[in-house]
Amino acid sequence: MQRSVLFICLGNICRSPLAQGICEAHLARRGAGHVAVDSAGTGAWHVGEAPDPGSVRIAARHGIDISHQRARQLRADDGDRFDLLVAMDASNLVNTRRATGRDDVVLLRDFDPRGRGDVPDPWGGGGDGFAEVYAILDRSMPALLDRLDDA
Ligand code: 4NP
């Protein structure tokens, strides 16, 4: 059974911290047993920073607090520490494979009931981008958690 999941984006301040918070909220609602959830960025520019205000705001609007999270960079040994590695877009997937040596990295939108592709990068854009990212992550999470249950 897969009991740990790592969400990966580029900066670890917009998409993957939001994915982590939404995943934890879905797990709590399901009453699932312990699952370790974390997030990381392939880039190092924002290490140590809190999530982007756009992500904090859209999460808070849905009752989820992600303000305590701090950005960190993906490490080679994350491939050993996490059962499931979930990248936000195709570029992060390639870089995660390269950094960890894992060939089973998946895309977040592999679990999206509305279709495949990248989770769009909302960085530097307006609130609508963050709302769209929230909607994609929220509707993709049930199938992703089923995968954890089934694995
Ligand atoms: P994220 O968004 O990958 O969803 O955290 C970005 C944050 C920062 C940058 C790019 C994307 N950046 O170039 O600094």
Q: What is the pLDDT along the chain (151 residues), one digit of tens a residue?
A: 559 999 999 999 999 999 999 999 999 999 877 899 999 999 999 999 999 999 999 999 999 999 999 999 999 999 999 999 999 999 999 999 999 999 999 999 999 999 999 999 999 888 799 999 999 999 999 999 998 876 6
pLDDT confidence of residue 93: 98
User: Is the shortest distance between the CB of 12 and ligand 1 below 6 Å?
Assistant: yes
CB burial string 49-70: b at 16+ within 10 A, e below: bbbbebbbebbeeeebebeebe
Catalytic annotation present for 121: yes
> What is the Cα 48 distance to its own chain's centre?
17
Binding site membership of 11 for ligand 1 (Cβ less than 6 Å): yes
Whether residue 141 has its Cβ less than 6 Å from ligand 1: no
Region of 143 on the Ramachandran plot (φ > 0 left; ψ -120 to 50 alpha; else beta): alpha
Catalytic residue from among 14, 15, 52, 112: 15
Q: What local confidence, expressed as pLDDT, does residue 61 receive?
A: 98
Rg (CA), the chain: 14
Structure tokens at 31: 């009453």
**Residue nearest to ligand 1 atom 9, measured at CA:** 11
Q: Which of 105, 123, 98 is CA-nearest to residue 17?
A: 123
Q: What is the DSSP string of 122-149?
A: -TTS-HHHHHHHHHHHHHHHHHHHHHHH
Distance CA 82, CA 16 (A): 15
Question: How far apart (Å, rounded) are the C-alpha atoms in residues 129 and 31?
Answer: 30
What's the 148 CA to ligand 1 centre distance in angstroms? 27
Report the pLDDT value the prediction gives residue 151, as an integer from 0 to 100: 60
Q: Given this model, what pLDDT does residue 126 score?
A: 81
Q: Is residue 14 flagged as an active site residue?
A: no
Catalytic annotation present for 83: no
Give the Cα separation of 87 and 42 in Å (integer). Answer: 10
Provide CB contacts within 8 A for 41, sequence distance 6+: 8, 9, 10, 11, 12, 13, 16, 47, 71, 72, 73, 74
